[in-house]
Structures are given as C-alpha cells and as structure tokens.
Amino acid sequence: MSVHWKRFADQISHYQSFVLVSHVRPDCDAIGSELGMAGILRKLCKDVRIINAHRVPPSLEFLDPAGTIEVLGDHVEADEISCDCIMILDTSAWGQLGDMADVVRNATCDKMVLDHHVGEEDLGATMYKDYQAEATGTLVVAAADALGVSIDRKMATALFGAIATDTGWFRFSSVSSDTYRVIARLIDCGVVPAEIYGDLYERDTLERLKLRGLILSRTSTELDGALVHTYVENRDFEAVGALHSDTEDSINLTLAVRNTKAAVIFIEQRPGGFKISFRSRCDLDCNEVASRFGGGGHKAAAGAFQQGSLDDVRSRVLAAMLEELERVL
C-alpha cells in the first residue's frame, strides 16, 4: 500500500487549523514525525498544535527544546481542543491513542492518518499509509515534497531522528538504498548525525543504565536460544529511580545474543497490566503474534498490551511465540 500524495496534498489545502496526535509513550519516530509535519504545515501558514496523551520522554526533549508539544490534562482540556483537521501520525489504532482517543472520537472535524504500520482500525479518518516505509518520518519527508515545502535544519533534525531510531540506526532489514537517499537529503539540510547520535545514545542517566542491567540480568532463553525474553516490573523503576521511558530500545539489546531469532520484553505499567514488545529476525511475523493480543506493528517489530499478572501474561505470550517459532524454523 502506498500513499496517494496528490489526494493528501489536496486534502491539506482544505484546512487552516490542525491538531497533530500520536501514540502513547511516544518514541522518536512519533515525536520527530509530529515536529516535522508541524514545520511543514506552518510553512504553509497553517495553525498547528501538537497534543499527545503522554509527555515527551526526557531522553527526547532535545528535539523540542521550546516545549511546543502539549499534553492532554496538563493545562490542555479536551473541550478546549478545536481545529479543522486532526492528523494522527505513527499509529492507526484506538488503543494507542490513550486519553486522546476520546478527543479524536468525539471531534466533529475531519481526520487524517499518516502511518507505516500494517494493522489498522476504523478511526473515522482518511488513511494515508505505506507499509513498506521504514518510518513515519520517511513519509513526512515525502509529504513535504508533495506539498512543495522545503525542509529546514530544525525539521530535518527531527525527521533524521525519527528514521534513525525506527531503523535501529540503519541496521534493520527495513533499510534500503532509498533510506540513505532520504538521509542524505536531511544531512544536506544541515543535520549533523554525530550530534543526534550523541543526544540519543550517549546521554544515558545512571538510573537508566541500572535499569538495563536489571533487564539484561533476567534474560532467559527458550527453544535452544532461538527465543529470548525478559521483564521489568514497577518496583524495579522505583528501586533504581528510572522512568518507564528508560526501557526504550532495551529489547534490541537482547537480540545481541548469538543464534537468537526472536525476543520479547514484558514491561509492567503503572495502572496495571503489561506492555509487550516483540522483535524478530527470522520468518516469525511479530505483527501477527501481537495481533492475537490486541496489538500490532510490523513483521520484524510489534507491540501489544495485556492485563494480568506477570506469570499469566508471560505464559500466554511465550506459548504463542514458541508455537510460531516452531512453525517457521
């Protein structure tokens, strides 16, 4: 599925005011895509607000130093939000919108989705999706071209971060020669990759390092090492003083184990239940497995959420992963 960019541009031209929204626990692709799209729309003299259910993680605040991204419930009330169009970026699922889901559902304005994930729900929006895109940030670059907008350094920095993180700093199988062509364009706009890498990966807090140590120390294997899995509970965050956002990218560390084909991490959430992240570097389809648990994503990476105790959630999810691994290996 590819994006019909002329239709996208035509629809944009009909509106003056926009609210940009992304998923809960926003990652760099979500934040970078929102900031990039906001820059594009403002260059078209549109009125733009970015409003999310969760605040920007401290590790990504360098992308929005002025604090332009608003948070629902933090001086922003649902009944105060109005615009001509709500644009949802980097997700196509109600459950991923958190408290912003009711805002989107109850809004009488038009809605658009720009996303690269496979699964989708009926959000009452016009869908603009490309499953082959390595990041939503890539689609935002294409949107700039479709709208005839030049990308400045600030926008390029946000979009570079979006693409770099969703490709594991260009090491995932989703990377193609086109990825590097887009990245080259962003560098030509003034991006300094070494600076972004430093901001993303060389500014860890001691608390985050301690949390990673806990996560890695609990790594277990199944199926002769083909599947690795680990977990983190709320009490662990409290014990080391870490944030929930400090788990970002932890699952990818487990894939460094030799002969590993797939990985799962279970992250307890403050209201209860567990966020589950899936990774695969074989024919196992993470999106298909995640969909069994109300989630989704991509073949190589997906996520879901389940209520229940750690033992209950872990046993059900690992059983599904083992079933699928035994089928494909």
Which has the closest alpha carbon to 2: 139, 97, 126? Answer: 139
Helices assigned H by DSSP within 26-152: 28-43, 100-106, 136-146
Q: What is the pLDDT of residues 132-169, one digit of tens each?
A: 999 999 999 999 999 999 999 999 999 999 999 999 99
pTM of the model: 0.86
The pLDDT assigned to 249 comes to 83
DSSP 172: S
CA distances from 247 to 9, 135, 208, 211, 232 (A): 37, 20, 8, 8, 9
Q: Tens digit of pLDDT per residue, the chain (329 long)?
A: 689 999 999 999 999 999 999 999 899 999 999 999 999 999 999 999 999 999 999 999 999 999 999 999 998 999 889 999 999 999 999 988 999 999 999 999 999 999 999 878 899 999 999 999 999 999 999 999 999 999 999 999 999 999 999 999 998 889 999 999 999 999 999 999 999 999 999 988 999 999 999 999 999 999 999 999 999 999 999 999 999 989 988 998 898 888 999 999 999 998 889 999 999 999 999 999 999 998 888 888 899 999 999 999 999 999 999 999 999 98
The pLDDT assigned to 1 comes to 67
CB atoms within 10 A of CB 126: 16
SS3 readout for 81-101: CCCCEEEEECCCCHHHHCCHH
Place of tokens 């001509």: 84
Q: 316 CB contacts (<8 Å, ≥6 apart)?
A: 293, 306, 308
Query: For residues 320 and 329, what is the distance between their CA atoms, to the nearest angstrom?
Result: 14
Query: For residues 83 and 109, what is the distance between their CA atoms, to the nearest angstrom?
Result: 7
